[in-house]
Amino acid sequence: MRKAVFFIFLAATAVTVWAGTEYRDSCRKIIYAVNPVDEVIKVDNDRLRALTRYALGIAVDGQDALNENDALMFAFLGRVEMKRRQATANEFSLFLHDEKEKLSPYIWGKGDVTAYIRMDNWIDMYQLKLIVG
């Protein structure tokens, strides 16, 4: 009997731990993929909105938060992807140009600029997708 109770307790704990990292794992799988732009394009609108809100810090019950860099990167990637889905090719191209200009001071700043360099590379990937079609 004790073994059965212990097994049930262990299973419930495992489910709780897994449920607490679902959003975090989903966001991290996208931003650390070989090609994050292609991965975020595959996500449907509702899921992308939910993940972006989560990355922006809007609480989701029982979910562990992303670290600061991951939150910054996913919020950026989610926002850019939502803009791509809503804008024409010309509007999106101008948007990407503006975003690249906004990132420029951070890339040449001091300290940890890894997240900003990755975001700049994602803009380049989106621009390449616009050119190639």
Mean pLDDT confidence for 96-122: 90
Exposed (0-12), middle (13-18) or buried (19+): which is 80, by Cβ within 10 Å? buried
How many angstroms separate the CA atoms of 110 and 113, rounded?
7
Read off the pLDDT band of 21 (50, 70, 90): confident
111-123: pLDDT as tens digits: 778 899 999 999 9
43-88: pLDDT as tens digits: 999 999 999 999 998 877 778 888 999 999 999 999 999 999 999 9
The pTM for the full model equals 0.80
Give the residue extent of every domain in the chain: 2-132
Please spell the DSSP secondary structure of 4-64, one letter per residue.
HHHHHHHHHHHHHHHHTTHHHHHHHHHHTSSSHHHHHHTS-HHHHHHHHHHHTT---TTPP
